[in-house]
Amino acid sequence: MEKRIEQLEGFVADTTPRLARIETRLEVIDTRLDGFATKQELADMKAELIKWIVGTALAITAGAITILTFVLNYATPPRNGPAAPQPPLVIVLPRT
């Protein structure tokens, strides 16, 4: 029984410095983790990113439609050539 107690005391003597090293490492890890985002911050950032993506897609789509409308309406010449000028409209009133 005495031998087992001596072994346990030796184990405790070896374990104490190990625990001290582990505690210092955990303190270093804790200081490193202070700069990382939390789950809530990541969820907020994801929602914000989705809003920006949808807004950008809508803006690009509106720009593309505007450009296509301009190109199809003004950049191509008319198919039948320029329109002939209309003769002036003459209104004749009877004498009274």
pLDDT at 27: 86
Tens-digit pLDDT profile for residues 58-93: 999 999 999 999 888 887 666 666 677 888 999 898
Taking only the tens place, the pLDDT of each residue in 20-54 is: 888 988 888 888 777 788 899 999 999 999 999 99
Q: Are 64 and 72 contacting, i.e. CB atoms less than 8 angstroms apart?
A: no
Question: Torsions phi, psi of 72, nearest 5?
Answer: -70, -25
Phi-psi region of 81 (alpha: psi -120 to 50; beta: other; left: phi over 0): left
Report yes or no on whether pTM surpasses 0.75.
no
Q: How far apart are CA 47 and CA 53, in angstroms?
A: 10
pLDDT for residue 12: 79
